[in-house]
Every structure is written in C-alpha cells, then in structure tokens.
Amino acid sequence: MDQARREFRNVIRTDAINEALPVDAYLAEIDAFIKRYAKELYYLGLWMTPDLALLVANAPDAYALTLDHSEHYAHWCQNFADETGYLRDPNHVQMKVDHCHQLGITDEELRAYVPMPETIGSVFTLLYYCRRSYEEGLAAFGYARERVAGMSGYAKTVYTGLEKHYGIKAKNFEVHAYAEAEHGDKALELIRRVVVTADIQRRCRQAIQHTIVTNEWRAHAMNRWLE
C-alpha cells in the first residue's frame, strides 16, 4: 500500500480560526450577547413569577394554627412576597425591565423579542411540575433551580462584571446574589421534610432531572451565541 496515502493531514485552517475581529465589531458582538441575555431573563421572570403562588396554595401546612407553626406555607408566602416586591426589594419582573433599560433596550423592543425555544421549554417544564404537586414544585423550583443557581454564584459574577466593565449596577443580579442562596438553603431544608416515601422520591427525582436537563439545554443554546 502506498505509504503516502496513509498519512493524516491537518485540514483545519488555523489562519481563519485565529483571525481577530476588529475591536469595535468584537465589542458590538459582546454587547449584543448581553442585551439578548437580558431579554431572555425578562421572559423567565415574566412567566415564572405569577405561578410561584402555586407553591403557597399547595403548601401542606397551609392550615397551621399560625404562620409560626408552619414551615412550607410561611416560606413560600415570604418568597412570593419577595419576588413580587412586597418586602425588601423591588418587584423582580420590574428589576429585569429596569436592567433592560440600563442596556438601552426599549419596551417596544422587549415586547417584540421572541425568546429561545429552550427558554420556553425550561420555564414551562418547571411550571408543569409546580402544577402537579407541592413536592414536585418544591423539587423543581426550590431545589433544582434556586439551590443550583445559588451554589453556582452566577448572579454575583454577572453583577461584578457589569459594574466593572460597563459601569452598570444591575439591581436584579445584586438581589439574586444573596436571595437565591438563602432560598436554596431553605429549599434543601424543606425537601428533607417531604421526600419520605418511595413514590414522592420518584416523582421529585424526575422533576429535578427534567428541570436541570432543560436548564442545561438553555445554557448550551446561549453558549452558541458566542461561537
């Protein structure tokens, strides 16, 4: 056999891979990514926030003598009040709108934006489980979303980056930097109270897996914007 035909050749054009964009074009690309990310976050909040009331309504100790005697009901009452702006922070949907305004995104542009299918899928997977049962809603929202987000530290990283490189103090990320960690810790405490039977464990396991998988699909889709 001809030895030359067995050689492997590098067919990748390294000059094309290493070719730099003009600085202004590169920065415009990054700015467009940040703006699109802000729009995606707005739709997450817009769709998710109202339905957190389901966790209040389905809490197993809603008939406790007082709120001091409840765990689940009291936590989700506080969480829902926090998300909707009745406690220490502004309404979380409004904070996302304000952040879009900081980036120069108009209300008309925000209304016209079509979220990614992966965003739609991740949100409504979560809301599906919130409607099935309290335990599955707690697993999907509290454990698989708030706890994972709090552990990742993404909000603090984004807040610091925006302030350092763009001079923008985004209240939305400032609030989530501490709120999600607090809520995630509480969700872990609460889920220990409910995953006490094989059936509940099976249902919660599925809710957590599906929530994390659809969140990962969304993250991969956003990463493709930078390719």
Ranges 16-20, 66-70, 158-162: which has the least confidence: 16-20
Any residues with CB less than 8 A from the CB of 151 and at least 6 apart, and which? Answer: 181, 184
In angstroms, the CA 224 to CA 221 distance is 5
pTM of the model: 0.82
**Encoded tokens for 33:** 């990514």
Long-range contacts, stretch 1-9, CB < 8 angstroms, 24+ apart: none
Is 66 a member of any domain?
yes
In angstroms, the CA 80 to CA 82 distance is 5
Task: Give me the pLDDT at residue 209, please.
Answer: 96
Is 186 a member of any domain?
yes
Task: Give me the pLDDT at residue 28, please.
Answer: 87
Task: Give me the pLDDT at residue 70, please.
Answer: 85
**Encoded tokens for 218:** 């969304």
Is 62 a member of any domain?
yes
Average pLDDT taken over every residue of the chain = 87
The parent domain of residue 45 ranges over 31-226
Is 136 a member of any domain?
yes
Is the pLDDT higher at 16 or at 53? 53
Percent of the chain scored above 90 by pLDDT?
56
Is 122 a member of any domain?
yes
Is 35 a member of any domain?
yes
Say which amino acid occupies 124.
F
b or e along 141-165 (b: 16 or more beta carbons within 10 Å of the residue's beta carbon)? bbbbbbbbbbeeeebbebbeebeee
In angstroms, the CA 123 to CA 47 distance is 7
Task: Give me the pLDDT at residue 17, please.
Answer: 55
Burial class (CB in 10 A: 0-12, 13-18, 19+), 124: middle
Overall average pLDDT of the 139-153 stretch: 88
Task: Give me the pLDDT at residue 10, please.
Answer: 45
What is the number of structural domains in the chain? 1
Task: Give me the pLDDT at residue 43, please.
Answer: 96
Any residues with CB less than 8 A from the CB of 46 and at least 6 apart, and which? Answer: 93, 96
Q: How far is CA 24 from CA 20, 29, 31, 60, 158, in A?
A: 11, 9, 10, 56, 22
Could you read off the pLDDT of 40-92 as tens digits, one per residue?
999 999 999 999 999 999 999 877 777 778 889 989 998 999 999 998 888 99
Is 18 a member of any domain?
no
Say which CATH number the domain at 171 has.
1.20.910.10
Is 24 a member of any domain?
no
